Amino acid sequence: MSSPNIPSTPTLNNSHSGIPPRLLSKANAAKSLIYAGKTSSDAIPRTQGLALPPGLSKPAFLSAISELRTILGTQHVELIDGDLQNGWYMEHPNTHDMMPILDSEKFVASAVVYPGCVADVQKITVWANKYLIPISPISLGRNLGYGGSAPRVRGSVTIDLGRRMNKILDINAEDCTCLVEPGVTFYALYEDIQKRGLGDRLWIDSPDLGGGSVVGNTLDRGVGYTPYGDHWAMHAGLEVVLPEGEVVRTGMGSLPGNNTWQSFPYGFGPFSDGIFSQSNFGIVTKMGMTLMPNPGGYESFMYTFQNESDLVPLIEIIRPLRISNILENVAQLRHGLQTLAVKGHPRTRYYSGGGPMPQSIIHLELQKAPIGDHTWAYYGMTYGPPHIRKYKSDIIDAEFRKIPGCRKIDPSTLPADEYFWSRDKIAAGEPDLVELLWTNWVPNGCHIAFSPVSPIRGADAQKLYELAKKRHTEAGIDLMPAFCVGLREMHLIVEIVFDGKNEEMKKKAEKCLRDMISDAAELGYGEYRTHLALMDQVASTYSWNDNALMKFNEKLKDALDPNGILAPGRCGIWPKRFRGRGWEMTEAGSGSSEGLAWLLAPVKRKSKSSPKL
């Protein structure tokens, strides 16, 4: 970049977290638009100084850190005592949430440590147990919109696994599987497959943006857009460092000499993998993933629907097609406002009034867009050789056309920079990066998602859409819904875009989110994933039988992590010494990222043998 204020974008040639060189110019163009919307610098002055781990004095902490430096090498332990630095997607921080819905200094690390191997990770857990210091592992920390790289407990030591553990350990073109470390991004995996000359044979499945960690996204049960879009369902085999330092391999991985770790996820006995996703029970250091064989052709298609009320009959049409696999991929049904916002221009270009932008203006603007006016846009893909695709697309066409005003968009009429072509790439497993452009809707654009699941039914879509609309209208926030349709359920994704420098807007956004979560729970809906600040609230909605599930999770937590050092509070699971001591955030303004640190329960130390390193 030429401007001195815009940091240069790392590429895969110089960083594990970089952009593929083929996307560099596109990245820089997107980034210029984002920087044009910033009203303040990326540096966040610190008012509270070094964020100490709870219960530790500064000298005690610094002495623990110097011991960690002796164990791992000084250069692999970084104290975070300077100003915090935000950035763009490709230069995201590993120290805090760069899209903070709460105060910037709430979810901040005290130090970041960079393990180089599994034994290093084990040593870090042993160290953390010795000093009762919370550790918070990240792979890439690009889970933006759900807390990014931030720890839930202020002053935790972040374990940045990705920086040095970023190898693709295996790509098996016969079995269509791979084995990766936490620092491997969707970008990196895709590029490596091309470099090995396997691009004609093997596809990956990518989320909307490709900069995330394959391991991290899968553990958070993220979604992509090929037929392999349910990432968790598609993984096979984990290697996990437990909170006290033991290493386990799940499934077939625990059978010495096996060659089936990535082919058969279950192995023998209880299927343990589930407890390591969306949890704080272990640190995943390797993960197997299935890859998709090239289906022998593909074709993106797009339909638009004119009326808001088309949602109900459309979802009814989609359900049987999706369950019977005529609609083969996790497709998106997006609202017209997103069509507009993803162009990357601020809302003030279209409307300068307060409150949600009127529908009439959205329609007026969309009339000028290449795909034309609509309320809903469906982006899908058919896979396979031409005669197979035709069989499916004929059925889809006949069904979708039952909705009056439905239009099939002819891709040949669309310009090269139309968003459609980004969806086209993603649905063919080629990671891209234009999605984040809608964060430019407001200055200093941050985003945070409300992500409830429901069956693929019109009535459910309608209820969730209406409750989101009601709460957005109250809060004066633009509603940007997208439905991502899985095999038997759909995720409604409502991204709230807010100005990270506007405290009033942040408060409104938080209230809107919390209201939507509780409204949804009252109707029987829950979220599939959530932001750090909302995890306690979302967890509390899964309360059947007197919170039996959380009690079970807490039992596991206390057994596996008796000192409560691993990512306390992640997904609402608090270890014994933190529980009920002011950490839980269940409503706006409640709880804290610091809890009542001085009230932390003492730990009964048992003498135990150290794990074999």
Asked if 97 touches ligand EUG (CB under 6 A), the answer is no
Strand order from edge to edge, sheet including 168-172? 168-172, 177-180, 283-290, 235-241, 247-249
How far is residue 532's CA from residue 509's CA, in Å, rounded to a whole number?
15
Q: How many CB atoms lie within 10 A of CB 117?
A: 12
Quick one: 239 exposed, middle or buried, by C-beta within 10 A (0-12, 13-18, 19+)? Answer: buried
CB of 486 to ligand EUG, least distance (A): 9
Pick between residue 133 and residue 333 the one whose CB is nearest to ligand EUG. 333
Pick between residue 285 and residue 537 the one whose CB is nearest to ligand EUG. 537
Structure tokens at 513: 């989110």
Per-residue x/- track, 425-464, ligand EUG (CB under 6 A): ----------x-------------x-x-------------
Pick between residue 230 and residue 584 the one whose CB is nearest to ligand EUG. 230
How far is residue 284's CA from residue 238's CA, in Å, rounded to a whole number?
7
Asked if 531 touches ligand EUG (CB under 6 A), the answer is no
Strand partners, 235: 289
Catalytic residue (choose from 471, 525, 528, 577): 528
528 in catalytic set: yes
CB of 199 to ligand EUG, least distance (A): 25
Asked if 577 touches ligand EUG (CB under 6 A), the answer is no
The three-point CA angle 131-135-141 to 5° equals: 160
Query: CB under 8 Å to 412, separation ≥6 — which residues?
Result: none
Asked if 517 touches ligand EUG (CB under 6 A), the answer is no
Structure tokens at 395: 């059925």
Asked if 101 touches ligand EUG (CB under 6 A), the answer is no
Footprint (CB under 6 A) of ligand EUG, residues 140-179? 145
How far is residue 66's CA from residue 68's CA, in Å, rounded to a whole number?
5
Footprint (CB under 6 A) of ligand EUG, residues 471-500? 482, 484, 491, 493
Footprint (CB under 6 A) of ligand EUG, residues 46-85? none
CB of 209 to ligand EUG, least distance (A): 8
Quick one: 39 exposed, middle or buried, by C-beta within 10 A (0-12, 13-18, 19+)? Answer: exposed
Query: CB under 8 Å to 400, separation ≥6 — which residues?
Result: 303, 314, 317, 378, 406, 408
146 in catalytic set: yes
CB of 316 to ligand EUG, least distance (A): 21
Pick between residue 157 and residue 377 the one whose CB is nearest to ligand EUG. 377
Q: CB of 317 within 8 A of CB of 402?
A: yes
CB of 480 to ligand EUG, least distance (A): 8
Catalytic residue (choose from 146, 187, 228, 298): 146
Pick between residue 235 and residue 389 the one whose CB is nearest to ligand EUG. 235
Closest residue (Cβ) to ligand EUG? 223
Instruction: Please pick, from the candidates 23, 64, 223, 409, the single residue that binds ligand EUG as defined by CB under 6 A.
Output: 223
131 in catalytic set: no
Q: Which residue in the block uniquely carries the two structure tokens 């592992």?
A: 137
Inter-axis angle of helices 58-72 and 118-131, nearest 10: 160
Footprint (CB under 6 A) of ligand EUG, residues 362-401? none
Query: CB under 8 Å to 111, separation ≥6 — which residues?
Result: 65, 68, 77, 78, 79, 80, 157, 158
Catalytic residue (choose from 142, 529, 570, 577): 529
Pick between residue 236 and residue 331 the one whose CB is nearest to ligand EUG. 331
Length of the chain: 613
Asked if 529 touches ligand EUG (CB under 6 A), the answer is yes
Residue 182 exposure: Cα atoms within 13 Å on the Cβ side = 28
Torsion of CA 255, 261, 267, 270, to 10 degrees: 100
CB of 468 to ligand EUG, least distance (A): 14
If DSSP codes are grouped into helix, strand and coil, which group holds residue 34?
Answer: helix
The three-point CA angle 141-341-498 to 5° equals: 55
Asked if 206 touches ligand EUG (CB under 6 A), the answer is no
CB of 212 to ligand EUG, least distance (A): 11
How far is residue 359's CA from residue 369's CA, in Å, rounded to a whole number?
15
Asked if 532 touches ligand EUG (CB under 6 A), the answer is no
CB of 438 to ligand EUG, least distance (A): 8
Instruction: Please pick, from the candidates 208, 510, 515, 536, the single residue that binds ligand EUG as defined by CB under 6 A.
Output: 208
Positions in the binding site for ligand EUG (CB under 6 A) = 145, 208, 223, 435, 449, 451, 482, 484, 491, 493, 529
Residues with a known catalytic role: 146, 528-529
